[in-house]
Homo-oligomer: A and B are copies of this chain.
């Protein structure tokens, strides 16, 4: 699991440098930050076990992954009810807390290039360059906002609205599309979708069928979807129309 990439795979670290604020990209601080990053390759299905003691920041250079919270519950039910907390794609910088703070894991949905930073050392270095620290803070506030918005939806929304919202949000992130029609491949299974939305696979499937019959989506094979009218889906999802925050996730 999680093989350390050969030196040639420093493309991940280079990609990370590109996300730093322009004015600090060529400063010594940038070099020091890159120096403490570990490039890692994760094959599809592999997972990144959290460090038992230290928080981490993980930059996804390429590929996509899900952040899951295993089992958790309750009366030793036995079934590993993985809740999916978020999906992440290339360019995201995410914070994975140490294992003792709730055992969240990053699982690759496709082959991934990651860069892993120990959170405390990263922040120590970033303190030398407040612009970096501020950029990280801004991202985390945006992530919080996203998470709250999502939570709000989980609260009281029907299965249909959740699926529509999921599709719209994937259209934004995977196809950079907020209206009209678009086609893309969903990298995650029906189970993952259900687990992230608090629904069963059966309900996910039924809702997709309903949208298909309504002529709003078409599917091909297991993963390819075509959203015929993103705006209509956004309406079903009960979204506050346009003007979504640019979609960075930490």
Contacts of A148 in B (CB 8 A): 85-86, 104, 147
Interface size class of A (residues with CB under 8 A): 35 or more
A243: interface (CB < 8 Å): yes
Question: Contact: B245 with A145, CB < 8 Å?
Answer: no
Tell me the A residues contacting B by CB distance below 8 Å: 69, 72-74, 81, 83, 85-86, 95, 97, 100-102, 104, 123, 126-128, 130-131, 133-134, 136-137, 140-141, 143-145, 147-152, 154-156, 161, 195, 197-198, 235, 238, 240, 243, 245, 250
Name the one of B83, B123, B151 contacting A137, with C-beta atoms under 8 angstroms: B123
Question: Contact: A72 with B240, CB < 8 Å?
Answer: yes
Name the one of B102, B235, B245 contacting A149, with C-beta atoms under 8 angstroms: B102
A143 vs B130: C-alpha distance when bound (angstroms): 21
Contacts of A250 in B (CB 8 A): 144
Contacts of A195 in B (CB 8 A): 155
Question: Contact: A154 with B198, CB < 8 Å?
Answer: yes
Contacts of A81 in B (CB 8 A): 156
Question: Contact: B144 with A143, CB < 8 Å?
Answer: yes
Name the one of B126, B127, B155 contacting A154, with C-beta atoms under 8 angstroms: B155
**Which chain B residue shows the least CB distance to A95?**
B141
**Which chain B residue shows the least CB distance to A152?**
B83
Contacts of A144 in B (CB 8 A): 95, 140, 143-144, 147, 250
Question: Contact: B155 with A73, CB < 8 Å?
Answer: no
Question: Contact: A145 with B85, CB < 8 Å?
Answer: no
Name the one of B74, B97, B147 contacting A147, with C-beta atoms under 8 angstroms: B147
**Which chain B residue shows the least CB distance to A128?**
B130
**Which chain B residue shows the least CB distance to A195?**
B155
Q: How far is the CB of A194 from chain B (nearest CB, A)?
A: 9
